[in-house]
Amino acid sequence: MATIILGGGITGLLAAWHLHGRGVAVEVWEAAEEPGGWVQTLPWPTLDGRPGRFEKGPQGILVSSGSAAERLFKALELPLQSPGKGARWVGKGGRLVPVPAHPAGLLTSGLMTWRTKLRMFLEPFQPVGPAEPEEGLAEFIARRAGKGMAAELLPPMVAGILAAPPECLSVDAIPKLRQWESHGSLFNGIRKSGISHLMVPEGGMGSLPKRLVERLPLVRRNLKAFGLEHLPDGRWKVYGPGHTAEADQVLLALPAFEAANLLGPLAAQSAEALRAIPYTSVKLWHSRHEPLPPYDDGFGFLIHPSEGKPYLGTLVPSWIDKKCAPAGVMQLRSFIGDAQLWGDPDPEAPKDWAWTEGNLRHWIPALGSPSQAKEEISTNAIPRAEKGHRGRVRQAVQGLPKGLDWISNARFGPGVRDVIEGLEAWLANPQP
């Protein structure tokens, strides 16, 4: 069976790698010069020419012992490095409050009220909720861990992962939650599936797509599919600029809106559902500073959305990936959310470096001026699994003609780990 995979992001490359390993003749079409989609590690030398780098998308990946992600990196012979246990903070009440490394530390933490803490410790005793109807993310967390948790800790965490407020999201925005609950409680689910650690492959996250490409027979670059045709013999023909190809199966490893464009004339129901999946844009500022303890030795901080609007927080890549900047340089990565989504009080203010630096200094007054700062705009970067997402995905997948399927982080979950695990499950039953 011949398969063409449209989209050489991490979903498409991984699907291709799995299928190739099962003896399927597979080729990938990627619109850009460099495969990997959002997973790219790009060079960013210092002003005096010393090597450095930054991540376009994920800063790392969460890996637990025995997980699909661990198996994948082992099979690809790609060593993973852990930055270790670093401090992290949540910006609340005008100051950065440390997040305890262990749940027991929450008891003494100033992050939550006593009432919230007590309710949180009752989580393992809450009954498992029904799978249907689909719950909202905030409602799910309130049901399991209490309204205080949903209001105090959930918003900055979700802003840091999905750049969206939890009130608009479905519980399916973080598929792990329902998987964990199926073990009786979130506490039990996390315990059973093993604690995850943030890991970075040698060479940065971009090493993952690079290694996959090395192991694949055919990845065509700069080839953006613009049309699909169902042939009378049941096969599929794919059209790109100056190139066509035929296959038994076509996998659309594309963002929902791109897949909708290709499906429009062939599968109206699927295209309509895919078009209804919104995407969030973010702006990022990478900056380099003199190291400043304790922030240079930690993961970074997230700001409670009620105080940031739309500044979401800052990570410390030079702690996560020691090779991204030379020794003695602290590299930061600050996230700015979509003004409309966050009810930006001053939407006209340009979110330039001066604005970002002002926000950074509000939380870390001692931060020195940067030696370098670099802006990055990520348009339609993160699928937003709003309430009703499950129905939209179901409608999209069920409406597909035989021989076509749509695979994407908008289907499997927002992170690279979700894609790795989602693809494993999908491979067990690939046809809709």
Per the rule left: phi > 0, alpha: psi between -120 and 50, beta: everything else, 69 is: alpha
Helical spans, DSSP H, in 76-206 = 114-120, 137-145, 147-152, 154-162, 176-181, 186-193
- Please state the closest distance from residue 332 (CB atom) to ligand FAD, in A: 14
For ligand FAD, the closer CB: 178 or 411: 411
* Angle at the Cα of 285 from the Cα atoms of 312 and 48, rounded to 5 degrees: 150
For ligand FAD, the closer CB: 121 or 279: 279
- Please state the closest distance from residue 188 (CB atom) to ligand FAD, in A: 24
For ligand FAD, the closer CB: 93 or 194: 194
Place of tokens 């689910």: 189
- Please state the closest distance from residue 424 (CB atom) to ligand FAD, in A: 15
Which residues lie below 8 Å from residue 400, measured CB to CB, with a gap of 6+?
Answer: 263, 267, 270, 406, 432
Question: Angle, to 10 degrees, between the axis of helix 256-263 and the axis of helix 268-275?
Answer: 150
* Angle at the Cα of 214 from the Cα atoms of 9 and 34, rounded to 5 degrees: 40
- Please state the closest distance from residue 203 (CB atom) to ligand FAD, in A: 16
- Please state the closest distance from residue 408 (CB atom) to ligand FAD, in A: 4
Tokens (6 digits) for 300: 């970074």
For ligand FAD, the closer CB: 120 or 228: 228
For ligand FAD, the closer CB: 279 or 355: 279
CA 297, distance to chain mean position in Å, is 23
For ligand FAD, the closer CB: 57 or 175: 57
- Please state the closest distance from residue 13 (CB atom) to ligand FAD, in A: 7
- Please state the closest distance from residue 189 (CB atom) to ligand FAD, in A: 19
Task: Give me the amino acid identity at 381.
Answer: A
- Please state the closest distance from residue 8 (CB atom) to ligand FAD, in A: 5
Residue of 160, 153, 151 lying closest to 58 (CA atoms): 160
Query: Are the C-beta atoms of residues 200 and 83 closer than 8 Å to each other?
Result: yes
For ligand FAD, the closer CB: 12 or 155: 12
For ligand FAD, the closer CB: 9 or 310: 9
Number of residues in the chain? 432
One-letter-per-residue 3-state SS of 23-89: CCEEEEECCCCCCECCCCEEECCCCCCCCCEEECCCCCEEECCCCHHHHHHHHCCCCEECCCCCEEE
Question: Angle, to 10 degrees, between the axis of helix 10-21 and the axis of helix 207-214?
Answer: 30
DSSP, residue by residue, 249-279: EEEE-S-HHHHHHHHTTT-HHHHHHHHTS-E
For ligand FAD, the closer CB: 123 or 418: 418
In three-state secondary structure terms, 424 is: helix
Residues that bind ligand FAD (CB under 6 A): 6-12, 29-32, 37-39, 57-59, 61, 224-225, 253-255, 258, 282, 378, 381-382, 408-409, 414-417, 419
- Please state the closest distance from residue 251 (CB atom) to ligand FAD, in A: 11
For ligand FAD, the closer CB: 112 or 382: 382
- Please state the closest distance from residue 255 (CB atom) to ligand FAD, in A: 5
Residue of 115, 96, 52 lying closest to 329 (CA atoms): 52
The residues facing 382 across adjacent strands are 280
